[in-house]
Amino acid sequence: MAQEGTAGVATAGAPAAATVAPVAAAAPNAATTTAPANAPAAATAAVAAPAADSPEAKAAAAVEKVTAQAAEAAKKAEAETAESARRAALSSEARAAEDKTKAAEEAAKLETEKAAKLEARRKQAPEKYKGFVPPEGVELDAPVMDEFQAAARDLGLSQEDAQAFVDRLAPIVAKNHVTSVLGLARTASDEWIAKAAVDPEYGGDKFAENAAVAKKTFDLFGTPALAKFLKDSGMGNHPELVRWAFRIGQKIGPDDKFIGGTEASNRPKSAEESLWPNS
C-alpha cells in the first residue's frame, strides 16, 4: 500500500513538473534582453543641434537679426507717430518754446562733452612745454608761441609732437607773414603814390621833375640794399620820405656838389668829424 501510494504521488506529480518546465523555458532572459533599435527615445537622443557656423545656424541668426531690426523699426515709428500727434496738439507758441528749450539743452550737452574731452586731452599734455627749437632761418614770435602752446595743450600734444608741428608750420607761417606784410605795404604804396603826386610842395604838374630830384638823393647816398628794400616794400613811395629826399636833392647841384661849394660825399664821417664838423 505504501509503495502504491508513493508511486501514485509520483505519477500524479509528473504533469506539474512538466508544466513548470515549459514556463521556465519561455521566460525571457533579462541579461540578454535589449530595447528595439527603432525605439522613439533612442531616436530623439540621437538628434544633435546644428553647429554654430553651419548654414542652418547662420540662416537662423540672420532671421533673428532681421526680426529684431523690424521690431525696433516698428517701435521707433510708433514713437515718432505718437510724438507727432503730441506736438500737433500743442499751440505754435508752445511748440516754439519747446524747440527753444530742446536746442538749449542740446547746446549745453555739447558744451559739456566738449569741455570733458578738452580736459581729458589736457591731462595727456605736459603742464608747460620746454623751449621749442626754431627751424633754420626762422625766428619764433613769442606771443604766437604762447598761443601755440595753449592750443597744443588742448590737443594733448606731447613735447615731441608739438615740436614736430613747429618744425613743419613755422616756416610756412613766417613766409606767409612776410608775404602779408609786403602785400599790405604794396597796397599802401599805391595810396602813397597818389598822395605824393598831389603834394603841395613837390607834386602837381612838376611831380615827375621833382621826383627825379628826390631820386638823386637815393642815388648819391643810398646803397643797392637800401634801394631794393625801398622798392620791394614800397616804402620809397611814402610822401614824407619823398619830401625828405626832395629837399636834400634840391641842395645837390648838377655836378653832385651841394649848392654853396661843398662837395657831396657818401664817405662815412669819423667820430672827430661828427663832433667837430667845422674843424
Task: Please list, residue by residue across 69-91, b when 16 or more beta carbons sit within 10 angstroms of its beta carbon and e when fewer do.
Answer: eeeeeeeeeeeeeeeeeeeeeee
CA distance 214 to 245: 5
Answer for the pair 258, 252: CB distance below 8 angstroms, yes or no: yes
Q: Which residues does 220 contact at the CB level (< 8 Å), separation at least 6?
A: 252, 256, 264, 266
pTM here is: 0.34
Q: Read off the pLDDT of residues 72-112 as tens digits, 9 standing for 90 and up.
A: 999 999 999 999 999 999 999 999 999 999 999 999 999 99
Percent of all residues in the chain with a pLDDT value above 70, rounded to a whole number: 69
Sequence spans of domains, the chain: 59-124, 125-191, 198-275
Residue 108: HSE in the Cβ half-sphere, 13 Å Cα cutoff: 6
Q: Read off the pLDDT of residues 208-259 as tens digits, 9 standing for 90 and up.
A: 999 999 998 988 888 999 988 888 778 888 999 999 999 999 988 766 666 5
Whether the pLDDT of residue 198 is over 70: the answer is yes
User: What pLDDT shows up at residue 34?
Assistant: 47
Amino acid letter for position 227: A
207-221 and 224-233 are packed helices; what angle lies between their axes, rounded to 10 degrees?
140
Answer for the pair 180, 149: CB distance below 8 angstroms, yes or no: no
What 3-state DSSP class applies to 131?
coil
User: What pLDDT shows up at residue 240?
Assistant: 92
